[in-house]
């Protein structure tokens, strides 16, 4: 399995001063930052990022929310990063997320769920390329 994943700390968490706490939890869990930046997506950029969800009932709310304020995107490295990170963030619905997961601690709803993690190595490649150029990566091989 690949050794990198793409995460986004979502607008609500950034706005509410939880960015540092979430980044700390990620580092403490063994991930290393290979790239990181804070930016604001345009609505059409959020639609492009989440293109696979086009047509689903939550697509408009999701892309409105993701373009509503600053987000922090990062490339994380660790062995088995994609699968382990999905476990660390917890279920999409915070009411179903396990104790100790990032969504249990910081999410407030399925849309306002604090954090994103790539769902496969193929998604991780695509999502890392969406946010980061080669020059922006602190390791040249990821």
**Binding site residues, ligand CMP, CB under 6 A:** 53, 58, 62, 92, 110-111, 113, 116
Tell me whether residue 126 is annotated as binding. no
Q: How far apart are CA 14 and CA 29, in angstroms?
A: 20
| 5 marked as part of a ligand binding site | no
- Structural contact between residues 112 and 64, judged by C-beta atoms closer than 8 angstroms: no
**In angstroms, what is the minimal distance from the CB of 54 to ligand CMP?**
12
DSSP state of 110: S
Name the residue nearer to ligand CMP (CB basis): 42 or 138: 42
User: 74 with 7: CB under 8 angstroms?
Assistant: yes
> How would you list the strands of the sheet with 4-9, edge to edge?
32-39, 71-77, 4-9, 115-117
Residue 116 known to be catalytic: yes
- Annotated ligand binding at 113? The verdict is yes
Query: Which residues contribute to the annotated binding site for ATP?
Result: 10, 58, 86, 92, 103, 113
Which residues are known catalytic residues?
Answer: 116
Query: Which residues contribute to the annotated binding site?
Result: 10, 58, 86, 92, 103, 113
């Amino acid at each position: 399995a690949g050794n990198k994943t793409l995460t986004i700390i979502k607008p609500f968490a950034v706005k509410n001063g939880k960015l540092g706490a979430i980044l700390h939890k990620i580092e403490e869990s063994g991930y290393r930052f290979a790239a990181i930046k804070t930016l604001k997506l345009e609505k059409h950029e959020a639609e492009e990022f989440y293109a696979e969800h086009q047509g689903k009932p939550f697509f408009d709310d999701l892309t409105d929310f993701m373009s509503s304020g600053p987000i922090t995107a990062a490339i994380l490295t660790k062995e088995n990063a994609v699968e382990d990170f999905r476990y660390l963030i917890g279920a999409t619905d915070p009411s179903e997320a396990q104790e100790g997961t990032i969504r249990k601690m910081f999410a407030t709803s399925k849309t306002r769920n604090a954090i994103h993690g790539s769902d496969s190595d193929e998604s991780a490649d695509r999502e890392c390329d969406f946010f980061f150029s080669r020059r922006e990566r602190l390791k040249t091989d990821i």
